[in-house]
A and B are shown apart, each in its own frame.
Chain A
Amino acid sequence: MSVQNINVALIGNPNTGKTSVFNQLTGLNQQVGNYPGITVEKKMGFCKLPNNVKANILDLPGTYSLNASSMDESVVIELLLNKNDKLYPDVAVVVTDVENLKRNLLIYTQIKDLEIPTILVINMSDQMERKGISLDIPYLEEKLKTKIALVSSRKGLGINALKELIVSYKTLPNEPCLNASVIDPEYFEKLKHAFPNQLIYKLWLVITQDVNFSNLDRNEIRNTFTKSNSELKRLQQKETIKRYQFINDVLKEGLKVDASMAKDVRAKLDRVLTHKIWGYAIFFAILFLIFQSIFSWSAIPMDFIDSTFASLSSWAAEELPSGILTDLLSQGIIPGIGGVIIFIPQIAFLFLFISILEESGYMSRVVFLMDKIMRRFGLSGKSVVPLISGTACAIPAIMATRNIENWKERLITILVTPFTTCSARLPVYAIIISLVVPSQRVFGILNLQGLTLMFLYVLGFATAILSAYILNKVLKLQSKTYFVVEMPSYKLPLFKNVGINVVEKTKAFVVGAGKIILAISIILWFLASYGPGKEFNEAETIVKERFANTTLDEAQFENEVASQKLENSYIGLMGRAIEPAIEPLGYDWKIGIALISSFAAREVFVGTLATIYSVGDTENETTIKSKMQAEIHPETGEKVFNFATGISLLLFYAFAMQCASTLAITKKETNSWKWPAMQLVFMSGLAYFSALIAYQLLN
């Protein structure tokens, strides 16, 4: 028997365990991508079924109905309307939660109206006994005109039965389970008459939804069957009521709940977790735990990655035949890749916590707690997650804004998230603080250096919130606010779901941002390794002449040559070109070079300075530090890294938009050049002027 390929679409409300069912069916056999041109995640997986059938399983975004109020829903509708789509499902699997069956069945009745073979999955069946729920499956199957699979995706029960049902999809009844056209018989009769070959419900979707439908011209239909938007909305409401009536009738017979059995853990937990004191106390305790683990636990793998890439670089430099490709590899590409990989531990830890909080249902409570406070600043309760994620990296944080429905709130969140202190700023802060802030104790216990670092974190958050406040006043965007958050019941997070989520998100960062950081590192390497004129090309002769009277050992000589070359390389020239602009901030051209190269990724600052100050061994931080410490300004004779310059640099790095990858993500998520440009100008302007003021005041 030959192998048969079928398409299966998983459809259902959010929080029904749809993704767990998907994970159970496909395991790690999944791909995550984007739908072309839009930022909706596309999850595909593969599954082997009995009888030599292979299924492509598409996990569609979780939606409450087929009414398109967001991109997520448009994706679902467009796929289900377009029979020619290569992903058009042979069979739809609607996943529902036994505790919320009534609400979850709404979308089921809509899918049935499209006359696609549909299987109904009733998930979390292991909870039935505890909640006192009993189902009359044969009755439900008859009324809903389908086959039902009772599944517990948490315990892996019923998955095989579901696979059997998918294989025999051809035997599923095809007709709708209710007649929705009774809401306005006359209107639908006319429709049917005009388009006898089309499904009436498809026509209705085309009329009411802003979606593409290949062979029907939406405007044409709408012109013929004119109804005002509010009339249409009223009809939609009637449709929804009609569907609920049907569902209520069916469930009255098919579902019995013994209320005495239901013990509500939810109410008790809610009372504590959304309490006006305890709620916030617990939230901040969790935040503290997250930060603690991000910074202390991930230090070990990060050090390991750091030293591994360093030795890999030196290995490549020694073992490979010498030449520019080897140099590019050992000085540009390997450190570039290392600079991306090093963030994996922090990002993985962050997503570990966030997905545990989301899976357990706690995140919705945080949204509920924080919404009013955040709204004063033009943000939404849902902005909390991006702002927290921003402390690891702004890129996944900006991607996490996708579930904010209100466009203005979402845009403001995207724009201010890069102010939060991401981990790339940390190495820069660390070295400058250790240079200019004395390591002494204040009030007996607190370390002044640690205090400065904490202040910079607070500064990041405060600036983010304040800019949000300003943007909220300045931006003239009208967008209808609506805020509806489902408060799911509390669940123990599933290890498998959390694990897959962490792997996916980390991969998205490495692939997305990593490529950009790597590409820029390569270009920077070329700019630093080539230069015009004889100052660059004859660096060795020049150094020899300059040190004719002193004896240099080989290492010292090479360092001097490297430094001479860098000074006259393209990037060195750029650094000197911007020197007049950054001099008032207390920087020289060398710091200028580091500022430019920080555009690839901020943490490059330290490495660049190490190269500029011709420290051969970039791994040894104390040597970079002592070199920087000893650096004297040639004209004034003062220390370059004095207190004023240090503070000015800290402020500059706290505010400046120096991350090309973040700009790329902002452009992608906002689908416009305007917003990343504004981010760049606003943030860098703020950085420049605050650094300027700080330096001028302190110096």
Chain B
Amino acid sequence: MQNTVHTLKKGDKAIIKDFDIDLIPLKLLEMGCLPGSLVELLQIAPFGDPLYLDINGSHVAIRVETAREIEVELIQNNL
């Protein structure tokens, strides 16, 4: 199964691989969410949504529906 930001667990780090540009708000790109960027899942809100991420040094919260569209490659599991 393809990993997305949505499938990450708290503390996981990953590299953004690809996403459908039409489904991602431009604002997120401008904040540094680009293919090749490092992303870390910092917190998950109490009801599982939104997700609190560190993308390339920017701290942002996005909803799961957006996170589902961002494909990533896991590089560090938080065990």
A and B touch in the complex (CB under 8 A): yes
Q: Which residues of A contact B (CB under 8 A)?
A: 64-65, 67, 69, 100, 102-103, 106, 230, 233-234, 236-237, 240-241, 244, 266-267, 270-271, 274, 276, 279-280, 364, 367-369, 371-373, 375, 381, 481-489
Alpha-carbon distance A696/B34, docked complex (angstroms): 63
The answer to whether B1 has its CB under 8 Å from any CB of chain A is no
The answer to whether B3 has its CB under 8 Å from any CB of chain A is no
Determine the interface band of chain B, counting residues with CB < 8 A from chain A.
20 to 34
- Whether A230 lies near B22 (C-beta < 8 A) is yes
Taking A64-B30, A368-B43, A368-B50 as given, write out 12 further A-B residue pairs in contact, using a Cβ cutoff of 8 Å, ordered by the A residue number.
A102-B56, A230-B22, A233-B26, A234-B21, A241-B34, A276-B46, A369-B45, A371-B63, A483-B66, A484-B28, A487-B60, A487-B61
- Write the chain A residue with the least CB distance to B27: A484
- Whether B32 lies near A244 (C-beta < 8 A) is yes
- Whether A485 lies near B61 (C-beta < 8 A) is yes
- Whether A240 lies near B34 (C-beta < 8 A) is yes
Find B29's partner among A240, A266, A274 (CB 8 Å cutoff). A240
- Whether A230 lies near B27 (C-beta < 8 A) is no
- Residues of B near A364 (CB, < 8 A) are 61
Alpha-carbon distance A551/B73, docked complex (angstroms): 95
- Whether B57 lies near A485 (C-beta < 8 A) is no
Find A484's partner among B21, B25, B42, B46 (CB 8 Å cutoff). B25
Known interface pairs A69-B26, A482-B27; A100-B34 also in contact (CB < 8 Å): no
Known interface pairs A237-B29, A274-B52; A481-B58 also in contact (CB < 8 Å): no
Q: List 22 A-B contacts (CB under 8 A).
A: A64-B27, A102-B57, A233-B21, A234-B21, A244-B32, A267-B42, A270-B43, A274-B43, A274-B45, A274-B46, A368-B43, A368-B52, A369-B45, A372-B46, A381-B50, A481-B65, A482-B25, A484-B27, A484-B61, A485-B50, A485-B60, A487-B59
Highest count of chain B CB atoms <10 Å: which of A236, A270, A375, A483? A483
Q: Which secondary structure dominates where chain B touches chain A?
A: mixed
Find A372's partner among B22, B30, B34, B47 (CB 8 Å cutoff). B47
Alpha-carbon distance A368/B62, docked complex (angstroms): 9
The answer to whether B49 has its CB under 8 Å from any CB of chain A is yes
Known interface pairs A274-B43, A368-B52; A65-B65 also in contact (CB < 8 Å): no
- Residues of A near B29 (CB, < 8 A) are 236-237, 240
Alpha-carbon distance A102/B43, docked complex (angstroms): 23
Known interface pairs A230-B22, A244-B34, A483-B63; A103-B58 also in contact (CB < 8 Å): yes
Nearest chain A CB to B56 CB, angstrom units: 7
- Residues of A near B75 (CB, < 8 A) are none
- Residues of A near B62 (CB, < 8 A) are 483-485
- Write the chain A residue with the least CB distance to B33: A484
- Residues of A near B63 (CB, < 8 A) are 371, 481, 483
- Write the chain A residue with the least CB distance to B22: A230
Alpha-carbon distance A484/B29, docked complex (angstroms): 11
- Write the chain B residue with the least CB distance to A371: B50
- Whether B21 lies near A372 (C-beta < 8 A) is no
Alpha-carbon distance A241/B56, docked complex (angstroms): 13
- Residues of A near B43 (CB, < 8 A) are 270-271, 274, 368
